[in-house]
Amino acid sequence: MTLTITKIAEDLAAGRCSSREIMDDLLARIKAHSALNAFISVDEEAARKDAEAADRTRRAGGGVLAGVPIAHKDIFCTSGVKTTCGSRMLADFVPPYDATVVQKMKAAGCIMVGKTNMDEFAMGSSNETSFFGPVRNPWDHDRVPGGSSGGSAAAVAARLVPAATGTDTGGSIRQPAALCGITGLKPSYGRVSRYGLIAFASSLDQAGPMAQSAADCAHLLSAMAGFDERDATSLDVPVPDYAAALGKDLKGLRIGVVKEHFAQGVEPAVLDVLREALREYERQGAVLVDVSLPNSAHAVPCYYVLAPAEASSNLARYDGVRYGFRASEYRDLEDMYKKTRSEGFGPEVKRRIMIGTYALSAGYYDAYYLKALKLRRLIADDFARAFERCDVLAGPASPSTAFALGAKNTDPVSMYLNDIFTIPVNLAGLPALSMPAGFVGGLPVGMQLIGRYLDEARLLNVAHRFQEATDWHTRVPAGI
């Protein structure tokens, strides 16, 4: 089965298959590839019932997504369905409501297959911090899929689902999309509602689509984007028909080649793949322009002050009193707090809470947090100057292909540097995507495209035109 949204929609409309048949096939595939550990939970009975309901109502019409199966990252609240955020702290939490993204996908006709594995509270770049165990890369089971949306990326790459949702705080859609060889889009901050998305760093978190192609992501973004009065950061601006904007020629398009992104620290073979991808754009009439983002070198330390600071505040709600995990033995209230948080959170989450609390503490707020905010402004200004000279920016999504499981667990700084090219985008609130651009040693390489604020339509078209001319996004791991 060719699991693109467009192909599924065509087959359903032509009566060549039913939603129930597709669902049965996918559920069998999920079982067959359970070693990937891509899912935390799968509700087979509900998925089959929803598929049958979609078949009954299809006669009344429906959009492209009607009857299409989808998986949600286990950070989105789903009414009556366990939502764990990859943590022991929420291992048995069942929300009483749906996140806005989940609501919108339901309204578009999508059928939820299950909830995908993820780094605990979205904190990680390898999907190894999950309480439910690491996810494995479909291209090589001894390597990581990237994180924190590694379960979603692995599920799409292994064709267990045609599409999945993810969240991106510092690269958590784009980096796993790159390492797993799929297309993943981080929209502009505020384009997609964060209501019902369990918070990590509220000024950075953004939900987005993950799928095989840019065309599929266009359909998904059209469904999930839009204003939500329940989210104070949601933008009240029109949502374009992203799919209708695909297919425009690229003649005269100015692609900014970021000097700092093609420098030392990136695997030479990865750069070779990206340079060949840029040559394809030149063949289509695009013009390459050299640009610089001088403050991007400071993005990682800036991010690892701001994001942990926000996390320390957001995660204070998990105290064992109201909901979630509670330690079984304790002397008094204060001891219950301490033991609950010590036992409920994993090492990486505790590390970031402590860093954030330190940065916000009296005597250090000005020295760290305030300086990081000023640096964030400088990083955003760099992007603004670059976009005066070009229409999109291009570079690597990750400095390397997928690394081995456990290779960086003892070196947090080395792990954090995996997001060196994605973090600046979140600090500036811009849209960006990663798409497959080639392979190195049998492992996929992702190219990152960065756009102006709210210019997702152009980004998706630029990626789509590349995918029309190449077949990297159609490659499937051996044995899948």
Beta 39-42 vs 111-116: how paired, if at all? antiparallel
Residue in 130, 152, 172, 222 annotated catalytic:
172
Residue 186, both tokens? 């981080």
Across 84-111, b (16+ Cβ under 10 Å) vs e yields bbbbbbbbebebeebbbbbbbbbebbbb
Active site residue 234: no
Active site residue 148: yes
Active site residue 251: no
Q: Are 12 and 52 in contact (CB under 8 A)?
A: no
What percent helix, strand, coil does the chain show, rounded to 5? 45, 15, 40
Residue in 19, 126, 148, 312 annotated catalytic:
148
Q: At what angle do helices 5-14 and 214-224 cross, to 10 degrees?
A: 80
CA distances from 177 to 48, 122, 212, 467 (A): 28, 15, 9, 15
Residue 153, both tokens? 């990326």
CA distances from 436 to 169, 247, 362, 433 (A): 21, 18, 46, 10
Distance CA 181, CA 163 (A): 13
Tallying the residues shown for the chain, one arrives at 480
Q: How far is CA 180 from the centre of its chain?
A: 12
Distance CA 60, CA 391 (A): 42
Find the DSSP H helices in 4-73: 5-14, 19-32, 44-57
Residue in 19, 73, 87, 408 annotated catalytic:
73
CA distances from 473 to 29, 183, 266, 267, 447 (A): 20, 8, 22, 21, 12
The residue ranges of DSSP E strands in 69-180, in sequence order, are 69-73, 111-116, 163-167
Residue type, 90: L
Q: List the catalytic residues.
A: 73, 148, 172
